[in-house]
Structure 1
């Protein structure tokens, strides 16, 4: 799972960085999610050492830092999902002023503030609030045994973000349904600028669906683990260890579900991924030609040096230019 999470989120970051069509405000928030999920994959890879060493093998301060960063990225993911809902709500409810209100630069500033504020919120946790440090176990997971800390996470951080996201998407769905009914009753046809505006609205509708899918996947995958943790802590029921581990792996799996959602629903992301694969394949072919094969050396003048290859390429270019110049003369003679 660590390998899949790291590979998928690195792919998301590369595709969004190399695809101009994805350089939009919502892309900034999606990349923030990818960075947070990438750290979850790194955290999973580090915890593999716990199994072989039968304890936390990296030291006390590393234990605190890893656990602190894990809490930060979880809160970053929740807050970023809320910002995506607000951004989609603005795009659907006020499409005329959307481009002037929500810009790429402002989205980047918002993401930076999210990371800084989330880091400040969990600074007390870094100084042992709610943590029972035991480097003989899986150290970063010991925060879940403190009921006051868990209540702080759920009531102060998770529930408000969840409510804001739900309200935003309810309003978005209501607006889209009302707009679709109005189009069906009027039977309007679009020409020129109106058709372009209609295509833009369809794109905003698609992005709203993607945002809703990402938010739903996050809370659906993590809710069973949160519920089972509290049930076990309060001794409300006896949850088998295998079932409890299954809920944990279900929550961790959310870190690569975003890549699956993008690839299924977003055409621009699919095109960017294909271009990324083609670029990697072309670079490999270029390196193979530059390294020189035995067949290539036999076709040259007997030397495999860079100067010989350069001279040969110049001759080929000159021959091509002569053919291009002579082609119109042959046509006129005919």
Structure 2
């Protein structure tokens, strides 16, 4: 960030949110609370999503489940990586230098969120192909091609942010580290490179595909309803309007994508302003960064609340866990009762 973000010169801990520092506590309280809270939500939420996908075979019938699971694993790793700034804010001793840890953390989180963004773009392409070419979909989208696509997502994400070690600060700030805030500046050309290579193509693909998906679904719904009304009038029965069967699933993915870009938009705007030296503020840097990271939790919440098959899988998983706990409790109670009977028999 710019040199206006001065370092720690008074012996106090380096805190981006000045209001979080307390004289009786030698660490950044508010930053730690925010990051740890998000870390717990992200890790627990995405673990549940991954378990539900493994326990609900119906979810794996959709090829988009490959990309959704990829997104869940990437978001889970984002939550795990949040442990690094938490330890830094708690002044936990780290073997590596602060500059190296800061750069590695910024690179890793940028790669993981890039994988999430690319997965959303691939999901929209997959749904677009399924609706526009339903007869040839199974021949176009095969498991082998899906694996190649997922591998390409990860390789592309790693390569896009690789120049950040020498070119400038990547898309995600590690400004909880003092070296990142004071010495690792954003570069306008690198920012333009990331926008052109990642943000803009992903946004264009998502907007183009979902616009056409909803347009096609509306057209199909209109045609189906017209045919239903025509045949119902001939039979003397009242026809009911039926929605496009793919529209509901597309709406779930559209909500996930919309929330993704809504949470990312403040950060992208700030990233562009900072890299062009128009505006720089440590509080805005922290809040926009972790607002974008919170999307790693929102994905699993939206999917669990919007997809009926996922809800059934979640109920099945929770029911299996409750049944297992009940069996363990019964087994424990029975073993306790047997031990009591045996001990009583020894005294007789």
Find the counterpart in structure 2 of residue 330 from structure 1.
none
Tell me the TM-score normalized by structure 2. 0.74
Contact persistence 2:45–2:297 (CA under 8 A) = yes
Does structure 1 residue 9 correspond to structure 2 residue 50? Answer: no
Selected match of 2:57 from 13, 16, 20 = 20
For 1:64 and 1:276, locate their aligned partners in 2 and report how far apart those are by CA, in whole Å: 39
For 1:149 and 1:32, locate their aligned partners in 2 and report how far apart those are by CA, in whole Å: 27
Find the counterpart in structure 2 of residue 215 from structure 1.
257
Deviation at 1:35, TM superposition (A): 1.3
Report the CA distance shift for 1:91/1:36 in structure 2 as closer, same or farther (over 3 A): same
Report the CA distance shift for 1:4/1:140 in structure 2 as closer, same or farther (over 3 A): farther
Does structure 1 residue 35 correspond to structure 2 residue 73? Answer: yes
Q: State the number of aligned residues.
A: 292
Deviation at 1:33, TM superposition (A): 0.8
Report the CA distance shift for 1:173/1:259 in structure 2 as closer, same or farther (over 3 A): same
Q: Which runs of 4+ in 1 moved over 6 A?
A: 132-135, 140-144
Deviation at 1:87, TM superposition (A): 0.2
Selected match of 2:267 from 208, 225, 228 = 225
CA-atom RMSD, angstroms?
3.3
For 1:217 and 1:142, locate their aligned partners in 2 and report how far apart those are by CA, in whole Å: 32
For 1:171 and 1:118, locate their aligned partners in 2 and report how far apart those are by CA, in whole Å: 27
1:236 is paired with a residue whose SS is coil
Contact persistence 1:78–1:161 (CA under 8 A) = yes
Deviations 1:39-73 (CA, angstroms, capped at 9, x unpaired): 2212222211221229x835245444332221211
Does structure 1 residue 100 correspond to structure 2 residue 139? Answer: yes
Selected match of 1:48 from 86, 89, 108 = 86
Contact persistence 1:38–1:255 (CA under 8 A) = yes
Deviations 1:91-131 (CA, angstroms, capped at 9, x unpaired): 11112222332234432332122112322333333x43324
Alignment of 1:256-271 (within 5 A): 256-271=297-312
Contact persistence 2:160–2:194 (CA under 8 A) = no
Deviation at 1:218, TM superposition (A): 1.0
Contact persistence 1:144–1:229 (CA under 8 A) = no
Does structure 1 residue 57 correspond to structure 2 residue 98? Answer: no
Find the counterpart in structure 2 of residue 276 from structure 1.
317
1:59 is paired with a residue whose SS is coil
For 1:141 and 1:170, locate their aligned partners in 2 and report how far apart those are by CA, in whole Å: 43
Gap regions ≥5 residues in structure 1 = 191-197, 305-334
For 1:287 and 1:80, locate their aligned partners in 2 and report how far apart those are by CA, in whole Å: 40
Report which of the two structures shows the higher radius of gyration computed on alpha carbons.
1
Find the counterpart in structure 1 of residue 206 from structure 2.
165
Deviation at 1:211, TM superposition (A): 1.6
For 2:184 and 2:202, locate their aligned partners in 1 and report how far apart those are by CA, in whole Å: 21
For 1:91 and 1:141, locate their aligned partners in 2 and report how far apart those are by CA, in whole Å: 49
Report the CA distance shift for 1:97/1:5 in structure 2 as closer, same or farther (over 3 A): same
2:90 is paired with a residue whose SS is helix
For 2:46 and 2:222, locate their aligned partners in 1 and report how far apart those are by CA, in whole Å: 38
Gap regions ≥5 residues in structure 2 = 1-37, 233-240
For 2:95 and 2:250, locate their aligned partners in 1 and report how far apart those are by CA, in whole Å: 42
